Amino acid sequence: MKYELDYHFHAKKGWINDPNGLCYFKGKYHLFYQHNPHDVIWDTMHWGHAVSEDLMHWEELPIALYPDMPYESSDGCFSGSAIIHNDEMWLFYTSVSEELGQTQSLVISKDGYTFEKYPGNPIIKNVPEDGTQKDFRDPKVFEHDGHFYMVTGTCKGELARVLLFRSDDLLNWEYRGILYESDEFLPVIECPDLFPVGDKWVLAFSIMRRPEKSVALAIGDFKDEKFILEEISFLDRGPESYAPQSFLAPDGRRILIEWMNNWKFKRMPHDTFAGAFTVPREIFFNERNRLCLFPVREARHLLVKEDKDVVVAPDSVTVTAGKEPVVFEGKVDSVDILRDNECVEVFINGGEEVITVYELWGKCW
């Protein structure tokens, strides 16, 4: 059995989880990620870093962010995002300390390889009254209608929430209110990401401790700083999918990468690394107005129609690669499969439904 993957990024050593700071900067795709370089279990978080010219061949680089400041002295540097501003890479992340709890901080890079933490960190120190300081994380920053916006995940009482902030300079942030809330996705919404797809907006987020369908794609509109929900899709049923983050490629494609994880994972005795990421996927609406995830064109030469662990019938697709079968039931028009050693990604009906199976790594939290 070969544990390393050929077409999916994973660190050479240590634990990785959420993809962070995805962007295209100075001729390279940049992938940052949650990383414990010391062991194959979750622990104090660093930001790992890799670059690619084609989204398929990644070069692992030295660690980008170390938890070396007082405001990140307990659990470290949690997830965040990137935006290119004034020909610089601005990275926003959640800094975690016992004294302050979870706060939002900033790093600036002029070249994409060296990183300087902002002297005024944390740039958002206190959670609004609509959230909780111990669960206030994963800032995703984007630009819209002449302003910068940030969404973060949180909770309050019996409601999981996404909060919205606005800025004109990326340094001073004004709280604008609750963007989305629900009692279905407790204990807390993680890794929110708000972005346009066609003439719609998608609010992607993750739901802790769900063994399947833990990634939600809420479809609607973003108008007057409000998100108007139309429907929620769980088109990637996993079970190994979590923490999606999107970014814009130079050609305008909206590309999304997820962490391949399962809450039932157990540590393996041969582990030198733990965790991997999905092949980059384009997110779009098809001619039937269905939201889809499908491998970027750079990966489509790897797609096949048959696999020993994928059983296709006219009204179902069953993937048997994991410990338990994963089943899609519905009309099957097409099936595309990407096999990479012990990982199988299955795209049904052009990506209207996705099954992601990679059951080697991880730990039950």
CA distance 284 to 195: 11
Strands 76-85 and 281-285 turn out to be unpaired
Query: Per-residue b/e over 134-166, b at no fewer than 16 CB within 10 Å?
Result: ebbbbbbbbeeeeebbbbbbbbbeebbbbbbbb
Phi/psi at 351 (5° precision): 100, 10
Cα–Cα separations (whole angstroms), residue 36 to 25, 93, 189, 304:
25, 16, 22, 34
CA distances, 108 to each of 48, 103, 208 (Å): 16, 17, 30
Does 87 qualify as catalytic in the annotation?
A: no
**Beta-carbon contacts of residue 243 (< 8 Å; ≥ 6 apart):** 17, 18, 19, 79, 190, 191, 206, 258, 259, 261
Per the CB < 8 A criterion, the answer to whether 244 and 254 are in contact is no
Sign of the C-alpha dihedral computed for residues 348, 352, 357 and 358 taken in this order = positive
Residues listed for the chain: 365
Among the options 18, 135, 138, 236, which is catalytic? 18
Torsion of CA 105, 76, 177, 207, to 10 degrees: 140
How many Cα atoms sit within 13 Å of 15 on the Cβ side?
A: 20
Catalytic annotation, residues: 18
